[in-house]
Chain A
């Protein structure tokens, strides 16, 4: 993977928190639009080769985004994001849940609170996303599920390193 110096990813299991910071070479208004308009959000939220499908979205406090990340076998991973607070072009907060096709949150799986903050930089715009789970056990559940399902498929490099190590 290419070095990406403007990218910071900090995971802390003791506080059940992930912090992701990334700078973009674009105006804050445009970066904000890409996060808050469904027709734009759909074009990047799921990393390749996945794609994003919006079932419904109301970007307002009390509203929600019901969406799916779709893989190449057409498997849909449904999610539901409820908007709890919005300060235009600066910040929004959500609760993020696993869901099903009807948009009902999956109550067996942990819910996370997201805080997404936008600020100006000399290069363009900084986006900071803080994802907080209720407890380390909740985060562990998500980790366990993620490892079982293998939604992401970008592990070849790491696997190669580990294969080297265990020789």
Chain B
């Protein structure tokens, strides 16, 4: 797998924002028009278009104009490289902390049993 550093930086910057992550998650389910994508967010269209621009610059999202509607879809190739590493780290820490939860429960239980 190729990892060109500047591109990956752009991808991580793009995914570092909750609005943009939500857009990516929505588009994973299928293409959508800009107005449909913008609807759940409490912001004006210009602000939303800025977010969309960051996703497009990072190569995560492409859009096409059909008549008066602009339709967006995900670029799965770009998502793979960045998301894979990001998800690995997240899963690693989640697993690690699940183990710590278990240990803390055991220690608390041990304390109760003593008294």
Contacts and interface: CB of A to CB of B under 8 A. Distances in A.
B16 A158 contact: no
B115 interface: no
A75 interface: no
B3 A13 contact: no
A166 B79 CA distance: 11
Nearest to A12: B16
Contacts of B69: none
Contact of B99 (A4, A48, A146, A158): A48
A162 B79 contact: yes
B36 interface: no
B5 A4 contact: no
B94 A4 contact: yes
Interface of B: prevailing SS: helix
B9 interface: yes
B96 interface: yes
Interface of A: 1, 4, 7, 9-14, 18, 20, 22, 24-26, 30-31, 34, 40, 43-48, 136-137, 140, 143-144, 146-147, 152, 154-155, 158, 161-162, 165-166
Given A47-B93, A165-B28, 12 more contacts: A7-B93, A9-B89, A11-B86, A12-B13, A25-B104, A30-B104, A43-B99, A44-B96, A147-B85, A152-B92, A162-B83, A166-B77
